[in-house]
Amino acid sequence: MITLRAPAKLTWYLEVTGRRDDGRHELRSEMCTIDFADELTLEEDADYLRLEGSPTGVADDHTNLVVRALRLVGRRAGVTLRKVIPARGGLGGGSADAAAILRWAGGVPAEVALQLGGDVPFCQVGGTALVEGVGERVTPQPFVARELTLVLTGLEVDTGSCYRAYDQLRREGSPLGGRNELAAAARLVEPRLGAVMDWLAASVGQEPVLAGSGSTLFFEGHVGDEATWRVQGPYGPLQFRHAMTTPA
C-alpha cells in the first residue's frame, strides 16, 4: 500500500485577463498549496475506487479525476480516497487528487495535465506559483509561509456557472474588480454565499476572500484561538479552520 497526500490549492488573487475563441477564460493568479489535504491509499495491480470521509458531491465512477488520471498515465491501481476538501468549494479538491496520481506516476507535462482540468498543472507542482493562461503556464515563486483561516460554508458553486455569470456581468458593465474578480459572479450564482460573506465581514471585522470560484472563503491570518471551530451562520453551520501555506 502507498499513501499519497493531495493538498488543496488556494487562489491568493485572481484576475480574468481574456477569453479564448473556444470560450475558455484566461487568468492570471497566484496559487499556493495549503496544509489541508485529501489522502489517497493505493494498492497496485488492483482496480477500484473507494470514497471515505466527506465525499458529498464526489463521483465514484469513471468520471472521477483519480480514475481519469490513472488512465492518462496508463497505470492501474485500487484507490481509497479519503475526502476532506469540499466539492465545488474552490479549493481544487478533484484536481489535487488527480495531481497526486500524476506525481506518483512520475509527472506529466503541463499541457498533458491540463487535459484533466485547469488547476491540475499547478496542483502537480504545488508550492507557490504564478498561474496564467487557462492554467497551463505555471511559474514557481519563492515560498512564503502564510497563515490563513478557511471558512467552509457548506454551499456549492459550479465553476462553469460562475464563469457564465462573470460574462453576463461583464456584458452588463458591472464592476468586476477586487482581489478575486469572480467574487461578484459567485455571489450571483449562489446568493446565499453573498449573504454569508456580508455576515462574516460584519462579524469578524474584515472582508473574507473568495477561494477560486467559490464557495470556500478565507481570511489572511489566524482568526480566533482554536485550530478548528463551528459557528451558526445565516444559512447553516460554518466551519472555520486554521491553515498554512506549504512548499512544493
The question of whether 83 is a catalytic residue gets the answer no
The three cell numbers of residue 44 are: 497496485
User: What is the Cα–Cα distance from 116 to 94, expressed in whole angstroms?
Assistant: 9
Which residue of the set 9, 38, 83, 97 is catalytic? 9
Beta strands in 106-248 (DSSP E): 128-133, 137-140, 147-152, 209-210, 217-220, 228-233, 236-246
* Most distant CA pair in the chain, distance: 55
79 touches 40 (CB < 8 A): yes
Count H helices and E strands in the chain, helices first.
Answer: 7, 11
9 is catalytic: yes
Do 47 and 25 touch, CB atoms closer than 8 A?
no
Q: Of 35, 83, 119, 167, which residue is the catalytic one?
A: 119
Q: Annotated active-site positions, please? A: 9, 119
